[in-house]
Amino acid sequence: MKYGRIITKEKLKYYEVAPEVFAAISPNRGLSWANAGFVNKGKGLVYDTFFDLPHARELRSFCEEQSGHAPQYVVNSHYNCDHTWGNQLFGDSVVIMHKNAAAEHVTEVPEYFQAIIEKKENLTLGEKYIQGEFKGFDLTGIKWHDPDMLIEANTTIMLGDMEVRIINVAPSHSDSDLLLWLPKEKVIFVGDVVFGGAIAYSAEGMKLWSKALDFIIDELKPETVVPGHGAICGVEGVQECKDYFAKVMSEFEKNYDDGLDALEIAKKCDISDFMHLLEPYRLFINILALTNDRRGLPTPPDWNYFAEEMMKLKAFQDQKYGERPWDPMSSWIE
């Protein structure tokens, strides 16, 4: 990958992926270690604001350092807290979200996660996992910041002479996914519509998500893809995400059994081609969603339960494939 400037700060590394277009990349340490973007053209635009205020503060300072002012616009890739909870530090910007984000976000409560982070005794397996993932975040002071604009239709913003398109691909990862596409530069910021370690919450969602990936590959044809988590990639990263879901769906069909629970089905699924992805035991959640759908049951986002079962799948995978080391700084490669 060819970059312009590469600027490393304490928490984030900023890669200039096109002139005055920056990808703000986190070390990929697990859940909520997200990426963002800053387009320093016209009045300025930020795409996503991270999980906690220290990360958002660093991003805002970077914007001010580069442009001399706060960005005029903030666009959120979707409602999830690891992409939106820094919004309150951009109170002087116009915050734009998909119209469904306003209802979707209520399932995520800062105090709930903060209580798990601070818990010291009688930790469940799930809570231990979440504590490990969130080490390095500080969730104090977070309040949901209401967006200024809710959109559904594709929308173009001119930043000086640069055209920036916001494209609605919801529902795919969530019900509120918005891509940021720079057609002339062939750069796309995709939020969690593309990342290694992807999680879908329904069978229908998985199919629609695959269609969104087809649209990116076949119609937009980007040269640079900035995923919601992990390293900057090209269209091959989008293809891999698509291949992963295709494999999950076909393995589920092959191994589904009315008498088995989701964990037992997940253990039978062969995803050996995807063991290099972050936390391959996230497979549990995808298989749970497919299993529940088959049985007419909902899949509420119960992270404590997800984490418990993922840890059981991890133990199984470690034994079957050997323990895989993970380098969080691999997302900082140049």
Which range touches Zn ion (CB under 5 A), out of 11-19, 79-87, 124-132, 315-323? Answer: 79-87
- List the x/- string, 30-49, binding to Zn ion by CB under 5 A: ----x---------------
Nearer to Zn ion, 177 or 293 (CB): 177
CB 226 within 8 A of CB 189: yes
Alpha carbon distances (Å) from 277 to 166, 244, 246: 28, 10, 15
* Rounded least distance, CB 228 to Zn ion, Å: 5
Which of 228, 230, 237, 280 is the binder for Zn ion (CB under 5 A)? 228
Cβ of residue 134: shortest distance to Zn ion, in angstroms?
A: 13
Which CB sits closer to Zn ion, 84 or 93? 84
Closest to Zn ion by CB, 82 vs 185, is: 82
**From the CB of 285, what's the least distance to Zn ion, in Å?**
13
Of 26 and 80, CB closest to Zn ion: 80
* 232-239 contact pairs (CB < 8 A, 24+): 232/1, 232/15, 232/17, 232/23, 232/25, 233/194, 234/1, 237/194, 237/196, 238/190, 238/194, 238/213, 239/213
CB of 78 to Zn ion, least distance (A): 8
Q: Which of 127, 192, 240, 308 binds Zn ion (CB under 5 A)?
A: 192
Looking at the Cβ atoms of 40 and 77, the one nearer to Zn ion is 77
Residues binding Zn ion: number (CB under 5 A): 5
Whole-number minimum distance, CB 260 to Zn ion, in Å?
Answer: 30
Part of the chain binding Zn ion (CB under 5 A), chosen from 57-65, 68-76, 192-200, 205-213:
192-200
Stretch near Zn ion under the rule CB under 5 A, chosen from 84-92, 112-120, 222-230, 279-287: 222-230
Residue 203 CB, nearest distance to Zn ion (Å)?
21
| Binding flag, residue 82, Zn ion (CB under 5 A) | yes
Binding residues vs Zn ion (CB under 5 A): 34, 80, 82, 192, 228
